[in-house]
Structure 1
Amino acid sequence: MSSTRRHLGAVAAAVMALSLMAACGSDDDEPAADGGNGQGSEDGGGEDEAVTISVSNLPPATESATREAFLARVEEFEQANPNITIEPNEFEWDVTTFAAQLAGGTLPTTFEVPFTYAQSMIERGQLADITAEVEELPYADAFNPSVIEVAQDESGSIFAVPTAAYGMGLHYNRAMFEQAGLDPDQPPTSWAEVREASDAIAEATGQAGFIQMSQNNTGGWILTTLTYALGGRMEEGSGDDVTATLNNDGTRQALELLRQMRWEDDSMGDNFLFDWGTINQAFAAGQAGMYIGGSDVYNSLVTENSIDPANYGLTVLPLEGDDAGVLGGGTIVGVQPDASEAERDAAVKWIDFFYMSKLTQQDAAIADAEALVATDAPLGTPALPIFGAEQLAESDAWVADLVNVPLQQMMPFKESILDQPLVPEPPVGAQELYAELDAVVQAVLTDENADIDALLETANNNVSAMVEAG
């Protein structure tokens, strides 16, 4: 689960900067074989088969600067690859419309979707096998195994390219910690401490100490996150042999924790219908001390919710119990399953050029960073490595002097997240599973006498039927 919405001004500036960098490049620029330029062989793309592909995320006409910048990148790509014509498309992933667009066959040749959808789309034949094309990239063997496996089937074939990854973390308000007599430099390291901190914050500030998403599939998403952190799994198995296990001990413990904070401690406030957008608003407004979300959410808190950076803190989730891990998420770029060989080749060249250059090339990374900083967009928010930890450290070093986020306040997360086991989202029908669990979370938060075991039994039966139906 993820929000793919970008800060449009920052994207426009970044695209312009990358275009300018390419236009000013000398004959000493790295060859396309080094990745990121999307160019063909030295023989020139003009000798290859002419091909046209459509690509997603063209900004709307109402965002003229961003749109023009995107189109400039398209022109740059076409100049480098004269046999490829790009048709930009305004498709942008939206949970409320994606299923209909997918079923209707209206998606562009390349399109962005959250990690959540990868496995179900692979199993249903809704993504092209681009193994051969990806293996031609110079960094094909460098992907973080925990990240690339999201886009692979059981045989290791590749069906998409991961372009961004995050781990779930605990976001907290440093000012509210101080008001409650807590040390913001020593955030909770156990769920018992999370509960204690929530109670102390609520008592000292009159605001919610901890808040929880509960609707539009986000309740199930965060409950799954809690379950993983407590050693449970919502589904077991893979491929055609998957069993729903929503009624596991980890989920029971997670719901019991919520019940205790809600009904025994009264430390969760009085709003129990948050989703991703509204919970960010509440947190940025100082209406809550802590909540769980993706590690990249600080970017949205700044660009969309005007959070005071001085109040922000980020740490890893406490992991307790055998097999505990952190739920990972992110964005992949896939290709339509009916794409021809020439279209697949062109699509992967576009992905390499448009998405991956700032991850694999120092000049592109610096140009992107300078553009973000020029528009006051956040730079330096911790993320999981698309490639290895060593490469992440190297790319961080490229732009270290430009970082404009309160990185020291995020170090409890950054220093520990690579040591936490990364667990992918449920392999079958993750969004449907999350939707089923929304009702469970809402019931526990709104009904003091909610029967957790009965709620989970019903949810598990419903998801089991969905899994069995394929």
Structure 2
Amino acid sequence: MAGTRSRRSVIAAGIACALTGGLAACGGSPSSGTRDGVVTITVNNMPPKTQPVDRRYFEEDVRAFEKEHPKIRIDAREGQMDPKTFSAKLAGGQLEDVYYVYFTDPAGLIQRRQGADISTYVKDMPYFKDIKPEFLKVFTGPDDKLYGLPNGQYSLGLIYNRDLFKKAGLDPDAPPATWEEVREAAKKISALGEGTVGYADYSKNNQGGWHLTSWVYSMGGDIAVRKDGAWKAAFDSEAGRNSLQMLHDMRWSDNSMGSRQLLQIEDVQKMMGAGKLGMYMAGPDNIPTIVKQFEREYEEYGVAAMPGEATLGGGNGFMFNPRATPEKIKAGIEWVQWKYLNPDRTEFEDKRASGNDVPIGLPLDRLFSGQAQAKQDAAHAKYANVPQGNYKPFVERNAGLEQKVEPPNAQQIYTVLDGVMQAVLTKKDADLDQLLADASKKVDGILATVK
């Protein structure tokens, strides 16, 4: 969801980077390719000048990369993949050789043949075999060929207040792993009184639909499924009903969600920052926002994995211009691996970032398994400035959950599902079956436009 992406960019400040003038000019058309044996590739994802630390770091990285790879030159551009202008840029020869995408983009791009097949070029790529299959799957087409590489990911879980857990007689090192356990913990926290809320959730500005999607996933269901070449709504199901019933019971039977509803992320973060909220659904990247905005301490908060069977995850990565030459694709893969998928540089990056008030050690962007992830974990542990033990419940259990991405036309679907969340949380006698049936019909109409 767009809101999640913007929040993650805040956490990345001081880590993600860009290129200033002097190394490469911005704008114009992509370079033609090879000259005197040197391949020039255009790449996007260059942050704006308003992020000077990022720009400086990226400048250092480009110089280091070009020194190690004297036959490759990087021509960086600001921006990312914009669906509104993408096709025109591709048709006009303006699309970068290596372009940034979100996990919701590759399926459509692959179907429209707007990304290059890189399957034969990654066989000898360092650490390729350690990239988790679920993230490579995002960039894999129906033909089982690979069209891109991940470089970041997030998973929703539960942010919780460890102090309130202790006051309520709960173990902060053993947070809930099922929704029934969440319900029981929320009741105990709410019983503390003084305006304390056990669990809160979003229900407007598309954030309610986003979270209801994760509820349904966690209950073993889907929001949309593709069958016989067409997408159809799938949440009018047992998983959908169980999700709404749990929300209804926590809100109306237990009174553990508080009387104030129609919340969005800023409202819930404020409640957590004020020490009046036990738990809410979010990614680990929410913790620095709460700590910095409300002058709290990292030690006050923990992260648990999503209760249930699956979680809503997302992320980003890079795809390659279908018109790029083999030389440029190979060079692009060299760049993406070296800059974004390189456990050997993690310690250097953590040390560099440690002097810029950047949280190090949050359970984010865990793309690898095996020795590659172990190498990154060791580096993060060395330079950690956050209590990594507080995130152990998330790291250990999240690895075993199915990671599911957003449905197609997600924002339009979320608008519909916002209404479902709002009805359940504001109307005690809401007809759950009718809500699901009506919303399903509307979402079928939205999905009918997906090609």
Which of the five TM-score ranges fits, normalised by the shorter chain? 0.7 to 0.9
Shift of 1:161: 0.9
Question: Is the counterpart of residue 176 in structure 1 residue 164 in structure 2?
Answer: yes
Q: Find the partner of 2:392 among 384, 388, 411.
A: 411
Counterpart in 1 of 2:25? none
Identity of aligned residues (%): 31
| Residues 131-164 of structure 1: CA deviation (Å, up to 9, x unaligned) | 3333341333332112210111122212221112
Q: Find the partner of 2:261 among 248, 254, 272.
A: 272
Question: Is the counterpart of residue 365 in structure 1 residue 353 in structure 2?
Answer: no
Counterpart in 2 of 1:161? 149
CA gap of 1:268–1:135, structure 2 versus 1, over 3 A, is: same
Q: Find the partner of 1:317 among 306, 310, 321.
A: 306
Q: Find the partner of 1:291 among 280, 289, 296.
A: 280
CA gap of 1:247–1:8, structure 2 versus 1, over 3 A, is: closer
Question: Is the counterpart of residue 133 in structure 1 residue 121 in structure 2?
Answer: yes
* CA distance in structure 1 between the aligned counterparts of 2:12 and 2:217, rounded to whole angstroms: 34
Contact 2:202 2:263 in 1 (8 A): yes
Give 5+ residue unaligned stretches, structure 1: 17-44
* CA distance in structure 1 between the aligned counterparts of 2:436 and 2:389, rounded to whole angstroms: 40
Counterpart in 2 of 1:25? none
Question: Is the counterpart of residue 376 in structure 1 residue 357 in structure 2?
Answer: yes
TM-score if structure 1 supplies the norm length? Answer: 0.80
CA gap of 1:267–1:403, structure 2 versus 1, over 3 A, is: same
CA gap of 1:159–1:256, structure 2 versus 1, over 3 A, is: same
Shift of 1:271: 4.4
Counterpart in 1 of 2:423? 443
Counterpart in 1 of 2:439? 459
1:5 partner SS: helix
Question: Is the counterpart of residue 252 in structure 1 residue 241 in structure 2?
Answer: yes
* CA distance in structure 2 between the aligned counterparts of 1:425 and 1:63, rounded to whole angstroms: 29
Query: Aligned-residue CA RMSD in angstroms?
Result: 3.0
Question: Is the counterpart of residue 75 in structure 1 residue 63 in structure 2?
Answer: yes
* CA distance in structure 1 between the aligned counterparts of 2:379 and 2:257, rounded to whole angstroms: 41
2:141 partner SS: coil
CA gap of 1:68–1:388, structure 2 versus 1, over 3 A, is: closer
CA gap of 1:92–1:397, structure 2 versus 1, over 3 A, is: same
Contact 2:39 2:328 in 1 (8 A): no
Counterpart in 1 of 2:413? 433
Shift of 1:305: 5.6
Give, as a single letter, the amino acid of the residue that structure 1 aligns with 2:74: I
Count of residue correspondences = 427
* CA distance in structure 2 between the aligned counterparts of 1:343 and 1:276, rounded to whole angstroms: 42
* CA distance in structure 1 between the aligned counterparts of 2:230 and 2:71, rounded to whole angstroms: 44
| Residues 275-295 of structure 1: CA deviation (Å, up to 9, x unaligned) | 445533442332421011224
Question: Is the counterpart of residue 100 in structure 1 residue 89 in structure 2?
Answer: no
* CA distance in structure 2 between the aligned counterparts of 1:382 and 1:439, rounded to whole angstroms: 32
CA gap of 1:76–1:408, structure 2 versus 1, over 3 A, is: closer
275-284 or 138-147: which moved more? 275-284
| Residues 238-273 of structure 1: CA deviation (Å, up to 9, x unaligned) | 682543212111111111111122223332235434
* CA distance in structure 2 between the aligned counterparts of 1:85 and 1:127, rounded to whole angstroms: 21
Q: Find the partner of 1:152 among 117, 122, 140.
A: 140
Q: Find the partner of 2:9 among 5, 9, 16.
A: 5
| Residues 360-391 of structure 1: CA deviation (Å, up to 9, x unaligned) | x1xx1111111232223222222464222443
Give 5+ residue unaligned stretches, structure 2: 20-33
TM-score if structure 2 supplies the norm length? Answer: 0.83
Question: Is the counterpart of residue 326 in structure 1 residue 311 in structure 2?
Answer: yes
Counterpart in 1 of 2:98? 110
